[in-house]
């Protein structure tokens, strides 16, 4: 039975732990977790990614999507460079390899850090690998918003939340204030 998994918020120590590798990505337990994560994130709505530790599951599983255009004012700020639409997908045991050393700072939000946004440096272009819940190998090069999203979700598997990566603490605040007052 598909169920809603309550997201954990910053301050919960589970969010600071390293998640475990999944030994058998295509077994039914993992498929159930992926289904529940997809149900959860779709129920929350207007979101682009969720990592298993955010719902208290310490496994290296993320689900994400790339919408073809910004979902709301938060995403207008987060990305003006939306790319080709990617439907909701699961990625298990992801690995990330920067393609160039260039970092770009950009705004991020997180279900585990509700109502807040911060500017975080990320690699502009990455290669990422992993498998999906059907055991198919994924190996892709992505840039901009897509690359930022994968790096953000990957960090959750390492026990890292975006506020821990903010260079300039003045670039951290409440979403509605930032959206109202900043243009870049
Ligand atoms: Ni997050």
pLDDT per residue over 73-90, tens digit each?
A: 666 666 656 578 899 999
C-alpha–C-alpha distance, residues 97 and 14, integer Å: 25
CA distance 48 to 72: 12
* Region for 144 from its dihedrals, namely left if φ exceeds 0, alpha if ψ lies in -120 to 50, beta otherwise: left
Distance CA(31)–CA(165), nearest Å, equals 31
CA 21 to chain centre: 17
Rounded to 5°, the CA angle 182-120-45 comes to: 75
Q: State the average pLDDT over residues 82-101.
A: 92
> How would residue 70 be classed by pLDDT, with cut points 50, 70 and 90?
confident
Q: If DSSP codes are grouped into helix, strand and coil, which group holds residue 117?
A: strand
Look at residue 118 in the predicted model and tell me its pLDDT: 95
DSSP-assigned beta bridge partners for residue 106 = 120
Predicted TM-score (pTM) of the model is: 0.94
Q: How far apart are CA 172 and CA 109, in angstroms?
A: 10
Residue 84: its pLDDT value, please?
Answer: 83
Q: Ligand 1 mean position to 27 CA, how many Å? A: 25
CA–centroid distance, 88 to ligand 1, in Å, is 16
pLDDT recorded at residue 79: 60
Give 102-146 pLDDT, tens digit per residue: 999 999 999 999 999 999 999 999 999 999 988 899 999 999 999
User: Two tokens at 23?
Assistant: 């030994």
Say which residue the tokens 């807040």 belong to. Answer: 116
How far apart are the CA of 47 and the centre of ligand 1, in A? Answer: 10
What is the pLDDT averaged over residues 85-102?
95
Ligand 1 centroid – CA 28 distance (Å): 25
Give residue 76's pLDDT: 62
Task: Indicate which residue of 104, 153, 175, 176 is catalytic.
Answer: 153
Q: Cα(first)–Cα(last) distance of the chain, in Å?
A: 44
Contact status, residue 103 vs residue 122, Cβ threshold 8 Å: yes
Q: Which of 51, 81, 87 is nearest to 66 (CA)?
A: 87
How far is ligand 1, taken at its centre, from the CA of residue 55, in Å?
Answer: 11
pLDDT given for residue 133 in this prediction: 85
133 is catalytic: no
């Amino acid at each position: 039975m598909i169920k809603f998994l309550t997201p954990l918020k910053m301050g919960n120590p589970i969010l600071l732990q390293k998640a475990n590798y999944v030994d058998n990505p295509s077994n039914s337990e993992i498929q159930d977790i992926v289904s529940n994560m997809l149900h959860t994130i779709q129920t929350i709505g207007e979101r682009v990614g969720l990592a298993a530790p955010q719902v208290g599951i310490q496994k290296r599983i993320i689900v994400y999507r790339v919408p073809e255009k910004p979902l709301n004012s938060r995403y207008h700020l987060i990305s003006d460079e939306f790319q080709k639409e990617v439907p909701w997908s699961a990625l298990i045991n992801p690995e990330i390899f920067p393609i160039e050393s260039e970092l770009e700072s950009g705004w991020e939000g997180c279900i585990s850090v509700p109502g807040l946004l911060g500017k975080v440096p990320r690699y502009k272009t990455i290669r990422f690998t992993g498998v999906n819940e059907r055991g198919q190998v994924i190996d892709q090069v992505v840039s901009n918003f897509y690359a930022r999203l994968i790096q953000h979700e990957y960090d959750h598997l390492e026990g890292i939340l975006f506020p821990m990566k903010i260079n300039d603490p003045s670039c951290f605040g409440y979403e509605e204030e930032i959206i109202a007052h900043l243009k870049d």
